[in-house]
Structure 1
Amino acid sequence: MNQPLNVDWAADWLRRSAAVIAEQRVALSELDRAIGDGDHGENMDRGFNAILGKLDAAPPDSPGGAFKLAAMTLMSKVGGAAGPLYGTAFLRAATAVGDAAELNAELLVAALAAARDGVVARGKAEPGDKTMIDAWTPAVDAARAAAESGAEPAAVLAAAATAAEAGAAATDPLVARKGRASYLGERAVGHRDPGAASSALMLRAAAQAALA
Structure 2
Amino acid sequence: MNSDTINHMAAAIRAAILAHEADIESLDREIGDGDHYINMKRGCEAISNIAAELTPLPAADALNKIGMKLLSTIGGASGPLFASFFISMGKTLQTVATPASNDIALAFAAGVEAIMQRGKAQAGEKTMLDVLIPVAHTFKQLAEQGQTAAQIATALKPVASDGLESTRNLLATKGRAAGLGERAIGHLDAGAKSCQVMIHAVCDQVLAQSH
CA contact under 8 A between 1:51 and 1:69: conserved in structure 2? no
1:103 paired residue number: 99
- Following TM superposition, by how much is the alpha carbon of 1:57 offset from its aligned partner in structure 2, in angstroms? 4.7
Aligned AA for 1:63?
A: A
How big is each residue's C-alpha offset from its partner over 1:101-137, in whole Å with a ceiling of 9 and x where there is no partner? 4321210111110111010011011110000110011
- In 1, the alpha carbon distance for the partners of 2:55 and 2:121 equals 34
- Following TM superposition, by how much is the alpha carbon of 1:194 offset from its aligned partner in structure 2, in angstroms? 0.9
RMSD, aligned α-carbons:
1.6
CA contact under 8 A between 1:175 and 1:182: conserved in structure 2? yes
2:200 paired residue number: 204
Name the SS for the 2:33 alignment partner: coil
- Following TM superposition, by how much is the alpha carbon of 1:64 offset from its aligned partner in structure 2, in angstroms? 1.8
Q: Which of residues 140, 144, 164 in structure 2 aligns to 1:148?
A: 144
- In 1, the alpha carbon distance for the partners of 2:91 and 2:200 equals 22
1:9 and 2:2 matched? no
Q: Which of residues 181, 197, 203 in structure 1 aligns to 2:177?
A: 181
- In 1, the alpha carbon distance for the partners of 2:107 and 2:82 equals 13
- Relative to structure 1, the CA distance from residue 103 to residue 11 in structure 2 (aligned partners, 3 Å threshold; closer, same or farther) is same
Question: 180-189 vs 140-149, which deviates more?
Answer: 140-149
CA contact under 8 A between 1:109 and 1:143: conserved in structure 2? yes
How big is each residue's C-alpha offset from its partner over 1:28-73, in whole Å with a ceiling of 9 and x where there is no partner? 1211111111111111101111110111355242222332232122
Flag structure 1 segments of 5+ consecutive residues without an equivalent: none
1:45 and 2:41 matched? yes
Question: 199-208 vs 87-96, which deviates more?
Answer: 199-208
Normalised by the length of structure 2, the TM-score is 0.92
CA contact under 8 A between 2:3 and 2:54: conserved in structure 1? no
- Relative to structure 1, the CA distance from residue 204 to residue 103 in structure 2 (aligned partners, 3 Å threshold; closer, same or farther) is farther
How big is each residue's C-alpha offset from its partner over 1:135-188, in whole Å with a ceiling of 9 and x where there is no partner? 011101111221122202343344333312210111011110111110001110
Aligned AA for 2:155?
A: A
Flag structure 2 segments of 5+ consecutive residues without an equivalent: none
- Using the aligned pairs only, state the percent identity: 35
CA contact under 8 A between 2:32 and 2:177: conserved in structure 1? yes
Normalised by the length of structure 1, the TM-score is 0.91
- In 2, the alpha carbon distance for the partners of 1:58 and 1:130 equals 33
1:168 and 2:177 matched? no
Q: Which of residues 5, 23, 34 in structure 1 aligns to 2:30?
A: 34
Aligned AA for 2:133?
A: T
Runs in 1 of length 4+ with deviation above 3 angstroms? none
1:85 and 2:91 matched? no
Count how many residue pairs are aligned between Structure 1 and Structure 2: 208
Question: 153-162 vs 195-204, which deviates more?
Answer: 153-162
How big is each residue's C-alpha offset from its partner over 1:177-212, in whole Å with a ceiling of 9 and x where there is no partner? 111110001110111111111111112222223232
2:118 paired residue number: 122
- In 2, the alpha carbon distance for the partners of 1:27 and 1:55 equals 27
